[in-house]
Amino acid sequence: MEFSAPFFNEFAETWSRQDGYRLARTLSPEIPTEQLRKIYMSQNAHEIRNTLKRGLQGNAALVGGIEHAEVQGWVEVYAAYWNATGVILAARESSGDDSRASQLTWTKVYEAWTELLNLLLRGYQNAGFEAWTIPCLYVVSKNLRTFAIMADEERNSKNPIDDSAAANLQDDFDPETNKHQKLEDCARVLGRVFTLCQADRAPIEESRKWGSYYIANLLLKTYFKLNSASLSKHILNSLRAGRGDMPDFSAFPKSQQVTFKYHQGVLAFLEENYGEAEEHLTDAWNLCHKNAMRNKELILTYLIPCHLITSHTLPTEKLLEPYPRLQKLFLPLCRCIKRGELHKFDLALQEGEDEFVKRRIYLTLERGRDIALRNLLRKVFIARGFEEAKEGEKPVRRSRVPVAEFAAAISLGSQEKIDNDEVECLLANMIYKGHMKGYISRQHGIVVLSKSGAFPGTRV
Amino acid sequence: MMPTWPAAPPPSGVQPSNGYTASYSAPAYTTVQVRQSFGQSYSTPQPSYPVAHACSHPQSPSPNPANIAPNVTTAPPAAQEQAKSKIDWPESVRRYVQRSFMPANLDPSVPRQEMEAKLKQTITQAHENGVMYSLDWDTMPLPQHMIREERARSLLPLHSKPQAQTPYPVAGTGAVSKKRKSWDLTDTAAPTSTSASPPWRNGPGRLEDRVSFSSDKRQPGDELSKHTSKFSRADKRQKRTDGEYKTFREDTPPPSEGPVVGTCQELEKRYLRLTAAPKPSQVRPPHILRQTLELLKKRWKRDQNYSYICDQFKSMRQDLTVQRVRDDFTVEVYEIHARIALEKGDLGEYNQCQTQLKALYKLGLKGKANEFKAYRILYYIHTANRTELNNALADLTAAEKKDKAIKHALDVRSALALGNYHRFFQLYNETPNMGAYLMDMFVGRERLAALCNICKAYKQDVPLRFVTEELYFESDMEAAQFIIDHGGQDLLEDRNNTIVFLTAKAGQTFEGPRAAAFSRVDIKGQI
């Protein structure tokens, strides 16, 4: 909306209603180019501040309700926004324009937008911006991240080698560090925004603490993108430490809860705390909007491997039905595990390796081999049938199994001979991990399985 | 204002190599005034350049004019002051100045004044060092970049601590706090340590009897001597912090400059952490460094003096860094240093090389990339770094996965992930290159894990020979010793001339040592 009467009325209106989300819309860059141009053309650099000042101070609805310093703060914010619209326009127009191909237009957008965010921050720190306006912070922060990514992409595509890296005299240099130059900068700025929210000591009702989770989510997302998930630790710690003064987690918008729980779950997953990961991811799953398919897919990507480890359970086909991508990812493996097809499992794992590694679930899924092996051994046990039943007694399975029989089963799929010592090693592992109850008698080359529940949890 | 530095003490012709003996009890240091910044040093004439950079032996500075590079300006300061107006600036310098002030290159965060000062300083220094014409001004970083660089560096915690400096490097420890940390770790906690040596390191017949990098084998006595020398080193460090050695403390971060073009002709040079801009006369150009490398290779074969070799390699790396030499030769230097560090179990130094190598390979430089990628995987297995392991997997191409060494490392990883100790110890036996030195680091804890497995799974007992073979011990003796060392003395029994291992009786015996062995890795805070 260009800076004329309707805009000032809108500002005053949101002000009297204290509608932060509506106010935030006036700071969004996600509007059609035409509208953007209108805003930019309606003013010039000399007049913008005066226009804004007059408009805000002169508005009847605002008179008396707003401090002078605060007006001044908003004037600066909107002036910066106006400035940014010009740069965004230039960037949008230059895309596809080869004559300006060498210019880093999105870098300029990123810089102009950083300026806007800085002025907004200053508004909270010095000009007394109220907490209900924090949706403005959301919109500006969220777009800062977007612009940072666009700036990095543009730079990497235009000049892959940045010579500022050569200026580095440090013993350890990394040619990759520049790849995410702006996004890293963005992470730092967002860190400041997070602190601004988190460190507010005002009473809860009017505290910026309400913004903590939104910004934390943005930060976590950024850290993941930067491949430095470990940095997320201090965000979680800070939130945990401040929990006493925070509104209850369930009081935050559901969307923020879901995102946060998801991130928390994935972080625990990466640290191999599968129990904790399962808990967080399950929370996220339960809170997630039923139509948010993409989000549900993301949650399942980690929740399914979690279940494989914690409770040895596999997803049903019905669960995966709406997610073709997940079917492709998990179904082949699941089938092999269920049938105890060890060799096919190895092949399926190899087949999907790139995808699995990319999603950081490879090392977890690999452990599903244990379950596949258990199911295979279980089949051997069942195939051996029962002891000759004595009269009046329940039939008992034949519990003394030669190692060689297990060995035959294991090499059945791959057609490769596996020596008995290695089979014993695998069996020992099964016993040690509690997948199988019994013991190996090396002397006799047999495995003596428990008569009551040789394979715990499988009703055998 | 013109610099008033006198020319550096020229390198002496003789480099006594016996300066690397174990004893450093007579530190030859010269107390020099701390140079807070360049600005100050220009106004305060200094009688002598800090010995920190002297190629020569600090105790015997024997000026040898012949060694001074021909184009070093030796005019006294006063004369230089007059000469200033007459200097004919080369075209390249003019271009450099122009480039610095180009609006596109200006950095709003760097005030113009500061930038001008830096520019002036850079040029006068080049002039003073006589490299005005030889420097490649077109690739010289702009003053605003240098300033930014300095700022960024001064923020690093690494440099925020005052650093005690002695003109002698205490063998191998380096002087950088980061480095010291890793040594402290090694001293107190890491499995590689010799002072707190994990039990399996003490057993007889270790891997080095089977595998060795060079013709020389690691001697059993070597371990002991290293042990004691490290103690005395720690002792020394303690003394230093207690102020027994009265040396100056340095607060300023090392300044950054453009690439230096070295003129030093000495082959050997002690490593000293730079605390000021490197002097070209004390930096060896690449062709000299090549000769140095040949010399060091010979020395290493002959003497096996690790503290000497490590120190020399560090100074080589430093010379390469300050001259920004990043080519195949750089890769070779790092590779050789990494291998030697590996052989000596110096994981800290190895890790530095490995990090650097990763970056160098990424630049597309040739070397033994696959060999070192394999080491890298083994290293991450040792440090149990899952995130990095996943990253390493993600970085591998299909062709690399087929490489013998990398495939071996991946197999090791997968064998361990699946608890297949049988396969793991087979792989341990067939490790290509020098990977066995890395595997040595974690083979002990994997033996404990396997023992736990065996004890839980086998009843009533197994022959000791079975343990020896499965866990790849050299002999029954060694296996027995390992069991006894971990509290299993009651589990061995002589039965009709064969020793049996009473697995059924073991219970939780090895669980404690196992947990301890696995938790110890976490302390190693390196990547």
Domains and CATH numbers, chain B: 439-523 (1.10.10)
pLDDT (0 to 100) of residue B504: 83
pLDDT (0 to 100) of residue B82: 47
Query: Is residue B67 pLDDT above 70, yes or no?
Result: no
Centroid of chain to Cα A89: 31
Q: Which of B284, B344, B277, B281 is nearest to B312 (CA)?
A: B284
Phi and psi dihedrals of B499, rounded to 5?
A: -90, 130
Q: Which residues, in sequence order, are bridge partners of residue A386?
A: A397
Report if residue A72 sits inside a domain.
Answer: yes
CA distances to A389, A400, A435, B203 from A385, in Å: 11, 11, 20, 48
Q: A269 and A239 share a domain?
A: no
Q: A99 and A143 share a domain?
A: yes
Report if residue A457 sits inside a domain.
Answer: no
Report if residue A149 sits inside a domain.
Answer: yes
pLDDT (0 to 100) of residue B80: 47
Phi and psi dihedrals of B163, rounded to 5?
A: -115, 120
Cβ–Cβ gap A164/B145 under 8 Å: yes
Amino acid, single-letter form, for residue A174: D
Contacts of B317 in chain A (CB under 8 A): 171
CA distances to A147, A180, A185, B221 from A91, in Å: 11, 20, 20, 69
**Which of A227, A252, A277 is where one domain is finished?**
A252
Q: A329 and A432 share a domain?
A: no
Q: A262 and A332 share a domain?
A: yes
* Min Cα separation A16/chain B (Å): 40
Mean pLDDT by 10 residues, chain A (460 residues): 80 86 90 88 84 81 73 90 90 70 81 93 87 91 93 79 44 62 90 89 84 92 86 87 82 92 92 91 93 93 93 90 92 92 91 90 91 91 79 78 88 83 91 90 87 81
B98-151 per-position pLDDT tens digit: 777 777 777 777 777 777 787 778 777 777 776 777 777 777 777 777 777 777
* Contact by Cβ (8 Å): A441, A447: yes
Q: Within 10 Å of residue A155's Cβ, how many Cβ atoms?
A: 18
Structure tokens at B404: 């013998």
Cβ–Cβ gap B420/A366 under 8 Å: no
Report if residue A454 sits inside a domain.
Answer: no
Cβ–Cβ gap A448/B459 under 8 Å: yes
Q: A111 and A36 share a domain?
A: yes
Kindly provide the b/e burial profile for residues A209-224, where b requires at least 16 CB atoms within 10 angstroms of the residue's own CB: bbbbbbbbbbbbbbbb
Task: Give the range of the structural domain holding residue A343, as residue numbers without chain letter.
Answer: 258-366
Q: A322 and A231 share a domain?
A: no
Q: A297 and A185 share a domain?
A: no
In the three-class reduction of DSSP (H, G, I as helix; E, B as strand; rest coil), residue B501 is classed as: strand
Rounded CA separation A295/A369 (Å): 28
pLDDT (0 to 100) of residue A2: 75
* Min Cα separation B233/chain A (Å): 25
Cβ–Cβ gap A166/B146 under 8 Å: no
Q: How far apart are the first and last CA of chain B?
A: 46
Query: Is residue B293 pLDDT above 50, yes or no?
Result: yes
B411-420 per-position pLDDT tens digit: 999 999 888 9
Q: A36 and A150 share a domain?
A: yes
Report if residue A54 sits inside a domain.
Answer: yes
**Which of A218, A252, A286 is where one domain is finished?**
A252
Q: A193 and A69 share a domain?
A: yes
Check if the interface score ipTM surpasses 0.85. no
**Which of A220, A252, A284 is where one domain is finished?**
A252
Which B residues 245-304 touch A at CB under 8 Å? 256-257
| Mutation site, A425, A436, A447, interface B, largest B CB count within 10 A | A425
Q: A25 and A130 share a domain?
A: yes
B343-355 per-position pLDDT tens digit: 888 888 888 888 8
Q: A144 and A93 share a domain?
A: yes
Instruction: For chain B, say whether A21 makes contact (Cβ under 8 Å).
Output: no
Report if residue A166 sits inside a domain.
Answer: no
Report if residue A69 sits inside a domain.
Answer: yes
| Number of domains within chain A | 3
Query: Is residue B235 pLDDT above 60, yes or no?
Result: no
B449-479 per-position pLDDT tens digit: 999 999 888 888 888 889 998 999 988 889 9
DSSP string for residues in A231-272: GHHHHHHHHHHTGGGSPPGGGS-HHHHHHHHHHHHHHHHHTT
DSSP character for A397?
B
- The mean of the pLDDT values for chain B is 69
Q: A11 and A154 share a domain?
A: yes
CA distances to A26, A204, B80, B118, B129 from B86, in Å: 62, 71, 10, 21, 17
Query: Is residue B4 pLDDT above 70, yes or no?
Result: no
The H-assigned helical ranges of A29-179 are: 33-41, 48-58, 68-94, 105-126, 135-158
Report if residue A380 sits inside a domain.
Answer: no
Mention every residue, 6+ apart, whose C-beta is less than 8 A from residue B112: none
DSSP character for B23?
-
